[in-house]
Structure 1
Amino acid sequence: MAKAQKILLIGGPGTGKSTIINHLDKMGYRCFPEISRKITLTAQKEGTEQLFLSQPLRFSELLLEGRIKQHQEADDLAANYVFIDRGIPDITAYMDFRGDQYPETFENANLKYTYDQVFLLPIWEAIYTSDNERYENLDQAKKIQQQLIKTYTELGYDLIEVPKSSVEKRVEFILTNTQIN
């Protein structure tokens, strides 16, 4: 069997990525969830309230490690395709948004570990919420969204914007527009 195609969902904070991934998973599709919440919760249990804010490079290194692992695991799946919540380039997009410096290994990973399709979920004020692991306000979320678009576009990805609609209709749009080679 050929390697599973990697279908990526990106977008600023609170755009519905995890909700869609959870819905696809319940439908029986192979999915990889966002891992930043797990990293944040682990750091909080160890006494660091917001690892991304206090140690952004360390947080990003852990993210890179986890997302590379997901990418490699996707290659080993016995599936035609896998849906992934956030990709490796999200890391440099966030760090660029904050103005943080990072080693060349991050940019190299953006080029080495690629995705077959990228679906962009737009900022949607009606569904945006912040919580214990999501520190950004809506204005920051909009700026992060622009940085994500810039980063992925500069890497040569064609972004497919998912319309604002019910979860079911958004999932239907993604499935209808997924290219299976």
Structure 2
Amino acid sequence: MAQRGESQARLVLTGGPGAGKTSLLETLRGRGWSVLEEAGRAVIQDQERIGGPALPWMDRRAFADQMLGWDMRNHRMAEASEGPVFFDRGIPDVIAYLELCGLPVPAHLENAAKVFRYDQVFLLRPWPEIFVQDRERRQTLEEAERTCEAMERVYARLGYRLQEVPRGTVMQRADFVMSWMSAWRRRR
């Protein structure tokens, strides 16, 4: 992975749906950290708003292409950022999505995962006690667990060392990430 200074750190939170990623990211944002939104939920909302077909229940390939574009844009936004940036998922998540769907992963997507790299990946596992389905999250808990396994497998295959975030209150989880960040700063 590319070594950047602390000011350019790109940090991904990934895992299955219903793991508490959004709550954790909102807490980190509340503590003053930059956070970039998840592609999947935004693409679904935008596509529904315009009556578009790039939805996971209509055209999975088009949905993946939209997510890739969103994630590459997020990466460029992070390049212009003054400090560390947290991503709600990353480009490897799109690869894992296609693999879960049984669809081939195009070469340009594999290339994107090699070109647009992250400094650290935090993994949050699905948590039955907080898992809920909603309008955009239609997966079952079992599907969320398979999704998490796929994310873990793809990130590892791409050379990332994942740091699992333990279950706990959202404040405890934010403290864990901040503690990791402090240790990371000392190592650099």
Q: Deviations along 1:118-173, whole A, 9 cap, x unmatched?
A: 11001210010110001100111111111111101111111111110000000000
User: Which residue is 2:55 aligned to?
Assistant: 51
Residue 163 (structure 1) aligned with residue 169 (structure 2): no
Q: Do 2:54 and 2:66's aligned partners in 1 also have CA atoms closer than 8 Å?
A: no
Q: What's the offset of the Cα at 1:103?
A: 1.8
Tell me the distance in 2 between the aligned counterparts of 1:104 and 1:35.
20
Offset at residue 16 of structure 1 (A) = 0.7
Task: Supply the AA of the counterpart residue of 1:137.
Answer: T
Deviations 1:39-65 (A, max 9, x none): 101111233587112111111111111
TM-score of the superposition, structure 1-length normalised?
Answer: 0.94
Aligned to 1:117: 120
Q: Is residue 64 from structure 1 mapped to residue 68 from structure 2 by the alignment?
A: yes
Matched with 2:143 is: 140
> Partner residue of 2:30?
26
Change (3 A) 1:137 1:49: farther
Relative to the length of structure 2, the TM-score reads 0.91
Matched-pair identity in %: 32
Moved over 4 A (4+): none
Cα distance in 1 between the residues matched to 2:66 and 2:53: 16
What is the count of residue pairs matched by the alignment?
Answer: 180
Cα 1:49–1:60 shift into 2, 3 Å:
closer
Structure 1, gaps ≥5 residues long: none
Secondary structure in 2 matching 1:18: helix
Distance 1:138 1:22 in 2: 22
Partner deviation per Cα, 1:95-126 (whole Å, 9 max, x = no partner): 10110123210111111111101110012100
Partner in structure 2 of residue 15 of structure 1: 19
CA contact (8 A) 1:119 1:159 kept: yes
Secondary structure at the residue paired with 2:129? coil
Partners of 1:130 and 1:48 in 2: how far apart?
Answer: 22
Q: CA deviation at 1:37?
A: 1.3
Q: Which residue number corresponds to residue 107 of structure 1?
A: 110
**Does the 8 A contact of 1:35 with 1:63 survive in 2?**
yes
Alpha-carbon contact 2:53-2:59 (below 8 Å) kept: no
Could you tell me whether the CA contact under 8 Å between 2:125 and 2:145 is conserved in 1?
no
